[in-house]
Structure 1
Amino acid sequence: MASFLPLLLIVAFFLFSAIRILNEYERGVIFRLGRYVATKGPGLIILIPVLDKMVKTSLRTVAMDVPHQDVITKDNVSIKVNAVIYFRVVDPSKSVLQIEDYLFATSQLSQTTLRSVCGAVELDQILSQREEVNLQIQTILDTQTDAWGIKVSGVELKHVDLPTEMQRAMAKQAEAERERRAKIINAEGEFQAAEKLTQAAEIIARSPNALSLRYLQTMREMASSSQSTILPIPLDFLKLISK
């Protein structure tokens, strides 16, 4: 039994060194004596001990947070912007052979691109046209990381921190805009009321009976809303007095 112990140890070492199991979302980049051989996985992978080396790569989408960046916009406003980048490895061999650390490289590239794009547009565009800014950053990142076997699937600006004085200025601007809209709505209401009164006056001028009906309706409303006695005066009598 003791004579088989070294053999068992060799077999155990071989199995431990040669057998690898990769998950569905993993791939293995195989090197043999330092040379790239193939990309394998998922499932059972058998390596040649000592000669082969495997680097595992995940194909799942990575959500990377880009820390706040100090940016001066095109209209000279100092702001802080952060974002989140969604990307994944589409070519495991490139992600290992072409770049030392694709996660670190993508993070650094995202920061510089975020500053560059936000610094080339005005503040209003960042606030009101965020989708266009997101798409512009995504296009640049996707183009730059394609050589690393990376696909950038999305970019989202998370927070835009404005200086205190800029927040006050924007609040005053919003208040002035609300006042302007209120005045416009009030003016439109008065204009419509004047139009209706003009139309009513034209109808009464064309039909004297309409004035009598309106007079009687007004007297009825006054009588129903007042507790005192109201004596109606004929319109013909009022016409005589006015003459």
Structure 2
Amino acid sequence: MSSIFRELGRRSAGSVPGRLLPAAAAVVALILVVATFGTDPTTVAGMVALALAVTTVYSAVEVVNAYEKRALTVFGEYRTLLEPGISFVPPFVSKTYTFDMRTQTIDVPKQEAITRDNSPVTADAVVYIRVMDAKRAFLEVDNYKKAVSDLAQTTLRAVLGDMDLDDTLSEREVINRRINEELDAPTDEWGIRVESVEVRSVKPSRDVEDAMEQQSSAERRRRAMILEAQGQRRSAIETAQGEQQSNVISAQGEKQASVLRAQGDAVATVLRARASESMGERAIVDRGLESLERIGTSPSSTFVLPQELTSLLGRYGRGLTGSDVQESAGLESLEFDAETRKLLGLDDIDEIIAAVEDAEAGDAVGDLDGREGEAAADVDLNLEESYESTR
């Protein structure tokens, strides 16, 4: 029975008739008991007294939850705020109003607004509030939740109407901050604090959405074309740079090949010149030996040799074993002028021969030395024969 009374009291809290409802329920229960057990006056009086006592106690006791505060009025006059716990109030003539002190969520219904650039949009939001002063929330405003919701709706429309369409779609934080600032001043007077405002969605009209989608598609195509053009440009630059480097490398290779060919030609020219010089001296030696041979067959014991032949004999005869022929100024080879030597690279001929054709140049020089040795041996032999014939 008491649980029924408590449930009825909880459902009807906040009104005087509601607080008297448990007494009416007790009377109904009393009537049922009398109809069941008879109409003995003593029994009826006892049951009435019991029902009245239960109803009085139930009406005088208020249990306030930990997250609540309740405003107490007696005969419609504000008395105090009931803190969490058990509180005793005047029975039958008191009335309480419950205020939840936790953070509460208020949904702002969808609002239609016209932006500054005359584009229709639809937006909704959610507001997080908390009751900071239950007395002011009770005395200053009729229904603080409904008041905050209505104020948030009008503020949302005003803020959206003061912005362009693009800003409403991209600057959610600005909208939230402006709504919060607009709600702070009036809600502070009600004892309510707006903790935060979150705009959940801002949706333009269908026509505007189609136009924005076409614009977005055009922008994506433009970016794709730009990226493709940049890629082609980059590819062309890379190709041109590659061809340029290839041409440079080819030109350098051709230059080096030309230089090497020119150096090889110069070396060959110098070697041919040296060989020609050596062959010329060989021819002179041969002619000298022929002259000595003819002189040796003459019956005269005294003869005069030309100076050039004497120098030649001095050059080749000093290599004979036991020869007392003295070295004298002989036949000198012709020298190239400075321009020719620079053109042929004769000053660096030894380095060129060593770097380019060391082995072949060595073989060629060895052949020339062998030929000079053979020529010297022939001269020595002919001189010995001539000397023997003159004796």
Normalised by the length of structure 2, the TM-score is 0.50
Q: Secondary structure at the match of 1:200?
A: helix
Which residue is equivalent to 1:44? Answer: 86
Q: Secondary structure at the match of 2:163?
A: coil
* Larger RCO, structures 1/2 (Cα 8 Å, 6+ apart): 1
Alpha-carbon spacing, 1:73–1:162, altered in 2? closer, same or farther (3 Å): same
1:155 aligns with 2:197: yes
Cα distance between partner residues in 2 of 1:87 and 1:6? 47
Greater fraction of residues in strand? 1
Cα distance between partner residues in 2 of 1:210 and 1:107? 83
Percent identity reads 34
1:82 maps to which of 100, 124, 143: 124
Which residue is equivalent to 1:143? Answer: 185
1:91 maps to which of 109, 133, 143: 133
Cα distance between partner residues in 2 of 1:153 and 1:159? 19
Which residue is equivalent to 1:13? Answer: 55
Cα distance between partner residues in 2 of 1:197 and 1:210? 20
Deviations 1:220-243 (A, max 9, x none): xxxxxxxxxxxxxxxxxxxxxxxx
Deviations 1:128-168 (A, max 9, x none): 11121112112211322111111222222223332222111
2:233 maps to which of 191, 199, 209: 191
Deviations 1:92-119 (A, max 9, x none): 1111111011122112111111111111
Deviations 1:196-222 (A, max 9, x none): 12321232222118999xxxxxxxxxx
Q: Secondary structure at the match of 2:69?
A: strand
Cα distance between partner residues in 1 of 2:253 and 2:128? 74
CA-CA distance at 1:61 after TM superposition: 2.6
Q: Secondary structure at the match of 1:172?
A: helix
Which residue is equivalent to 2:106? Answer: 64
Q: Secondary structure at the match of 2:223?
A: helix
Cα distance between partner residues in 1 of 2:95 and 2:109? 35
Q: Which shows bigger deviation, 75-84 or 51-60?
A: 51-60
Greater fraction of residues in helix? 2
Which residue is equivalent to 2:222? Answer: 180
1:205 maps to which of 247, 250, 260: 247
Equivalent residues of 2:115, 2:161 under 8 A apart: yes
CA-CA distance at 1:5 after TM superposition: 5.6
CA-CA distance at 1:71 after TM superposition: 0.6
Equivalent residues of 1:204, 1:211 under 8 A apart: no
Q: Which runs of 5+ in 2 are unaligned?
A: 1-41, 255-391
Which residue is equivalent to 1:117? Answer: 159
Amino acid at match of 2:143: D
Which residue is equivalent to 1:132? Answer: 174
Equivalent residues of 2:56, 2:92 under 8 A apart: no
Cα distance between partner residues in 2 of 1:123 and 1:210? 64
Aligned-CA RMSD value:
2.3
Normalised by the length of structure 1, the TM-score is 0.78
Cα distance between partner residues in 2 of 1:113 and 1:211? 80
